[in-house]
Amino acid sequence: MTDSPGTTRPRRRPRRHPWRSLVPALVAALVATLSLTAAGAPAQAADALLSQGKPVTASSTENAGTPASAAVDGNAGTRWSSAAADPQWLRVDLGATATISKVVLNWETAYGSAYQIQTSPDGTAWTTVYTTTTGAGGTETLNVTGSGRYVRINGTARHTQYGYSLWEFQVYGTTGPTTPTCGTANAALNQTATASSTENAGTPATAAVDGNAGTRWSSAAADPQWLQVDLGTSQSICGVQLSWEAAYAKAYQIQTSADGSNWTTIHSTTTSPGATELITLSGTGRYIRVYGTQRATAYGYSLWEFQVFTTGGGTQPPQDGSVLLSYNKPATASTYQNANSCTGCTPAKALDEDPATRWATSDTDGWVDPGWIAVDLGATAHLTKVVLQWDPAYATAYQIQVSPDGANWASIYSTTTGKGFKETLTVDGNGRYVRMYGTARSSSYGYSLWTFDVYGTGGSPTAPPALPPNPGNPEHLVWSDEFNGAAGTRPDTGKWTQDVGNGQNGELEYYTNGDNTAMDGAGNLVIEARKEANGQYTSGRINTSDHFNFTYGHVEARIKVSGTQGLWPAFWMLGSNFKTGTPWPNSGEIDIMEHVGKVADSVYSTLHAPAYNGGNGYGSPYTLAGSDFASAFHTYAVDWDSTHMTFAVDGHAFFTADKAVVESTRGPWVYDHPFYLILNNAVGGDWPGPPDATTVLPQKMQIDYVRVSQ
């Protein structure tokens, strides 16, 4: 907000807030737009054969010796042949959206005299890119222009009384930027859901698709059980998220169906960990279900939420053609702030898709009504949605207005009950200029927006930067340090940099250049906190900023923390842009584990961002009542992607920070960019307090390993 204090300190005490939110995540991405037309341009030399060996299906086969796969096996002596009827088709799944430039048909004697070449993003909706009623048989080379993941030949008239028969069906083109990504819209939300059973009337099937993380479906206590969702139409499914209650499935399948009766398994596991599972997969169907075959407990199966993500799902209603129109477009405002806690808070900052920058009205003459921000879309557009991510200085009453000329305005949305945080508004209007026109402030301060996003069609849009790719499924180890060096060896300088100097946040130690950080010869790195003869506290802090920066994945470390009054060991991550000038907390901070010696039986996981940091950080403790975390090794981990983070201790997931929940209750999500790892063993500080007469030094923080998988 416009009075929020500025700071550059890269670590603060997290608020000990027992928030538990296992709201499922969304798979993040933008939808590729298809552009399919027939053309006669020849294939480029760089175009590759895309179809060979790819999955293929057909409307029929003549017999077991002429399967569909024979047409894409690269063997000119094997063939597919169909039943002797019209129409018939052969379809190949290229595995990803491709730009198609050429199709080669190597016909057997039984060829098609009339047929079409068609493409599809999902295997359901088809676009014709070539058609003929004078097929000549033999080898036909067809130059086409189109885009799609699926390509098929659809035969409508046979040249002989036999079926259609192809020695080879070859598709040429290129893959690249047009590859579709998984949408962020939950296709299962509020759709019809049924189940094999329910535990009671309070846990119906519909509770797993209502978008409410506080309601759940639970089944009878028997195997197998299933939960099924009707998506309404056939969809290309690219991911699901299961947000399990404690009664989860150890073994289950994800299945799809065209009719709700005949099912195809597209994912299967017998080692589910429970908690929140984000699963990348591929399948097509109108119906999708989770089919549990083995329970992890004596109870039934129980899901807080079952979310389904589709190719083309986007972040707005599918198939409306809307895109983000406002990114980096010229912006104006009634005033803007450029001093104190909000230097350079120009209107452009609300349109830059950087969630850590904002526009605010001037602190000298802008804390008045009305106050406004406007964007020039570059050309007339039809508007369908506006997204406002407010700073605490929000509008309780405002309008969304449009204008053809930036002078004459018409209101297309109005409210007197604005709630702040993130507001997603469905609108319907036309104009080149769009503005938020605030008429009543929530406080004595001004108006401030982290984000002012305008969606629709038309305009002159500039595509925003794409999100980094989500982790793979399964994930693979991409970086690690096992700390197996000889006793006294310092950390690998190809992986770690020593942070030398005084600590922050009231810490009392001096971080040395490796004197306090060394291997013990038993497979551990030791970061030792000491009190030197001169009374100075020393310790160690290391980071990967010069060596390894990454976005998303599974991050874990096995650590035995130090544990006495005044000690503050931590395993955490800081946004890499902190090293290039972005101040804390704008860079973002992800505390995977913090421990303070005065609370022996708890560790803490916390997020810090511009709108929630320090004592107001968003996180949760993990407590084993009566225990002492310093007495043994424990594994601390986070699973992080574009829509959520789930924190775990020893494999037990205890806190999920969901992007949608954070944005609607705390403020911007600032974690979709590279971060680096940090290990340190602090002495003193605002949170643990200083050492006292009970403190025992030296104290060792021991790290068995650190691993990152993506």
Catalytic pick from 108, 556, 589, 663?
589
For 160-169, write each residue's pLDDT tens digit. Answer: 999 999 999 9
Q: Report how far residue 413's alpha carbon sits from residue 491's, in angstroms, rounded to the nearest whole number.
A: 58
pLDDT at res. 170? 94
SS3 545: coil
Contact 310, 183 (CB under 8 A): yes
CA distance 576 to 550: 9
Interatomic CA distance for residues 198 and 706, integer angstroms:
42
User: Which DSSP string do the residues of 556-614 spell out, in sequence order?
Assistant: EEEEE---STTEEEEEEEEEGGGGGTPPTTTT-EEEEEE--TTSTTEEEEEEEBTTB-G
Tell me: the pLDDT tens digits for 72-83? Answer: 988 888 999 999
Catalytic residue selected from 199, 277, 556, 594: 594
Q: In the structure encoding, which two tokens stand for residue 611, read together?
A: 């709108």
Under the banding of pLDDT at 50, 70 and 90, the label for residue 467 is: confident
Residue 19 has pLDDT above 70, yes or no: no
Burial class of residue 423 in the structure, from the number of CB atoms within 10 Å of its CB (0-12 exposed, 13-18 middle, 19+ buried): middle
Pairing of strands 537-539, 509-511: parallel
The pTM is what?
A: 0.62
Q: Is 594 a catalytic residue?
A: yes
User: What DSSP line would sit under 294-310, residue for residue?
Assistant: EESSSS--EEEEEEEEE
pLDDT digits (tens, 9 = 90+) for 387-396: 999 999 999 9
475 is known as an active-site residue: no
Contacts of 234 (CB under 8 A, 6+ apart): 122, 124, 258, 284, 285, 286
Q: Is the confidence at residue 30, as pLDDT, over 80? A: no
Q: What is the pLDDT of residue 649?
A: 95
Q: What is the pLDDT of residues 616-656, one digit of tens each?
A: 999 999 999 999 999 999 999 999 999 899 999 999 888 99
Position 598 confidence tier, pLDDT thresholds 50, 70, 90: very high
Q: Which range has the top average pLDDT, 7-16, 468-477, 584-593, 659-668? A: 584-593
16 band by pLDDT with thresholds 50, 70 and 90: very low
Residue 508: C-alpha distances to residues 365, 539, 543, 664, 710 (Å): 43, 10, 20, 37, 37
| Nearest by Cα to 330 from 435, 234, 237, 422 | 435
Which comes out higher in pLDDT, residue 176 or 9?
Answer: 176
The whole-number pLDDT of residue 273 equals 82
pLDDT band at 469 (very low <50, low <70, confident <90, very high): confident
Tokens of 465: 């930067």
- What average pLDDT does the structure give for the chain? 88
**How high is the pLDDT of residue 176?**
56
Report d(CA 531, CA 508) in Å as an integer.
Answer: 10
Residue 360 has pLDDT above 70, yes or no: yes
Residue 32 has pLDDT above 50, yes or no: no
CA distances from 53 to 58, 71, 74, 180, 589 (A): 15, 9, 8, 21, 45
Q: For 543-583, how does the pLDDT look when each residue is reduced to its tens digit (9 = 90+)?
A: 999 999 999 999 999 999 999 999 999 999 999 999 999 99
